[in-house]
Structure 1
Amino acid sequence: MNCPCLQIDLGNSSAKWRLVDDGQVLARGRYGRDDPASREALLGVAPVPVAIWVSSVADAEHESQLVTMLGERWGVEPWFARTPAHCAGLSNSYAEPQRMGVDRWLAMLGARARCADRLCVVDAGSALTIDLVDAGGRHEGGYIIPGARLMERALLLDTGRVRFEQDPQYDLAPGTSTAQAVRHGIALAQAGAVQQALAQAGEPAPALFFCGGDGALLRDLLGEPGEFAADLVFEGLQVMAAEQGTQ
């Protein structure tokens, strides 16, 4: 890559982005559709990026809004990664490959580029996803679980008496207040899910990769096994773009 490429990881409500040139990350940030300052930061990141690559789990309307915004600013048509059956030695286990979230697929591609052995990708964001890939590149399957903040939101919405003003950290020790009991219980559920998934996976034990907004925290809760790779989705986006000859 010899010219700036804008890479965007688009979610349902916000996006992460980074600007890359010749393998170097020049800038990064977050964009929210209802946040004018973040919009200006994104649109002011480069005079004209040569390419715009997008990983998106948003709906068609939000994708269209992004395309229009980027087109009006730079006149560049974004390339959207879509989940295929095979790419760069990775094989999808889904009968309908396009139904797998492309962020999960790209995170596995990114991990696969780092490790040729059996591996497990733990993406801790709005959802906690856990995906296993064997040494031959075959997706063995995975799990999708509500993420920590989604768990907390559901508990507070559906349980009228569970209310607290404190803001304790996530921890695995038993809580001695309602606030601690909620946060520590969620931490226990998240860490326990990963531990159970790994126990279910059997041998050989997979190399562990963590990503997502809560990935580093979850890795710490588990005693720091494996590697935290914040840009794993972006790394997979680069692998897929190169495989497909995208410029």
Structure 2
Amino acid sequence: MSLPRRCLQLDVGNSSAKWRLLVDGEISARGVYRPGDSASRQALLACTPELEAMWVSSVAGEAAEADLAAMLEGRWGCAAWFARSEVETLGLRNSYDEPRRMGVDRWLAMLAARNRHPDTRLCVVDAGSALTIDLVGADSCHQGGYIIPGPGLMERALLLDTDRVRFAEAAEYSLAPGTCTAQAVRHGIGLAQAGAVTLALREAALSGPPLPVFTGGGGEWLAATLGGIGEFVPDLVLDGLQLVGQARAR
């Protein structure tokens, strides 16, 4: 099987999908697709007149995956391939007794981070709807990880279960103590996110300090807030998908 000339790649979360189109190995278009949003749907379906391959990383449910596959295949006439977590991929070894139960986005992010930094102990941080933190040994073994609610989930949980915590004003995430309810909530969430990564790195350092690699919508903020440590790679999951898809196509 030869490498596809035109390949659409998607990183599908629970509420939206980040996508990019590669032509001859170079990114020629990118965007975000949101189910139910006609403008984002049109932008995705109009990104290219033809495709040779569609590769997907998805943590959505089976019904959502089936709807997405039907939409893509109806537009371009080729089958979408969905990556899955495995016992071992390209030398990276999974620590789960049931590897398929690991979110494939975590698996692909680790693969891409390891490809960027071979023979290095890593801490891969994906700050999205959930904050995931995964450790990879220099021997390419997954050493375990953490899954923590992301900022949006934290805020919704707080507002759902507390009658008097309400606010309408905007507030950015920060580590400074808040001087109004909006700041207290958002800054508290920022403190929790940054604190979780700090503690994970501190625990991991007992076995030798890992190199942090950040990705996800909140990854750049986390890396900067923690002093600019490590590296921020916005397309880490898609980069991992590219590695696996290329290996499969060869």
Bucket of the pairwise TM-score, normalised by the shorter protein: over 0.9
Please list the CA deviations of residues 67-117 of structure 1 after superposition, one character each: whole Å capped at 9, or x if unmatched. Answer: 111111110101110110000110000000000000000000010110010
Amino acid at match of 1:144: I
Q: Are 1:169 and 2:200 matched, yes or no?
A: no
Paired residues, what number? 246
Structure 1 residue matching 2:249: 3-state secondary structure: coil
State the alpha-carbon separation in 2 of the partners of residues 21 and 39 from structure 1: 20
Please list the CA deviations of residues 162-205 of structure 1 after superposition, one character each: whole Å capped at 9, or x if unmatched. Answer: 01122111111111111111111111110000010011112421
Instruction: Give the TM-score, by structure 2 length.
Output: 0.96
Structure 2 residue matching 1:244: 3-state secondary structure: helix
Please list every run of at least 4 consecutive aligned residues from structure 1 whose deviation after the TM superposition is greater than 6 angstroms. Answer: none
Q: Contact conserved, 1:209 with 1:226, CA < 8 A, in 2?
A: yes
State the alpha-carbon separation in 2 of the partners of residues 239 and 225 from structure 1: 25
State the alpha-carbon separation in 2 of the partners of residues 185 and 232 from structure 1: 27
Moved more, 227-236 or 62-71: 62-71
Q: Are 1:134 and 2:137 matched, yes or no?
A: yes
CA displacement at 1:210 relative to structure 2? 0.5
Amino acid at match of 2:245: A
Structure 1 residue matching 2:169: 3-state secondary structure: coil
Match of 2:236 among 229, 232, 239: 232
Moved more, 87-96 or 216-225: 216-225
Q: Contact conserved, 2:135 with 2:142, CA < 8 A, in 1?
A: yes
Instruction: Give the TM-score, by structure 1 length.
Output: 0.97
CA displacement at 1:2 relative to structure 2? 5.7
CA displacement at 1:243 relative to structure 2? 2.3
Q: Contact conserved, 2:4 with 2:52, CA < 8 A, in 1?
A: no
State the alpha-carbon separation in 1 of the partners of residues 85 and 126 from structure 2: 17
Matched residue, 2:70: 68
Please list the CA deviations of residues 124-178 of structure 1 after superposition, one character each: whole Å capped at 9, or x if unmatched. Answer: 0000000000001000000000001110111111111001122111111111111
Structure 1 residue matching 2:27: 3-state secondary structure: strand
Q: Are 1:41 and 2:43 matched, yes or no?
A: yes
Alignment of 1:189-208 (within 5 A): 189-201=192-204, 202-208=206-212
Matched residue, 1:107: 109
Structure 1 residue matching 2:31: 3-state secondary structure: strand
State the alpha-carbon separation in 1 of the partners of residues 77 and 249 from structure 2: 21
Q: Contact conserved, 1:15 with 1:30, CA < 8 A, in 2?
A: yes
Give the unaligned 5+ runs of structure 2: none
State the alpha-carbon separation in 1 of the partners of residues 79 and 232 from structure 2: 32
Amino acid at match of 1:163: R
Moved more, 171-180 or 109-118: 171-180
Moved more, 3-12 or 117-126: 3-12
Amino acid at match of 1:230: P
Identity of aligned residues (%): 60
Match of 2:189 among 166, 182, 186: 186
Matched residue, 2:86: 84
CA displacement at 1:242 relative to structure 2? 2.1
Closer, same or farther in 2 for the Cα pair 1:2/1:69, shift >3 Å? Answer: closer
Q: Contact conserved, 1:87 with 1:243, CA < 8 A, in 2?
A: no
CA displacement at 1:21 relative to structure 2? 1.7
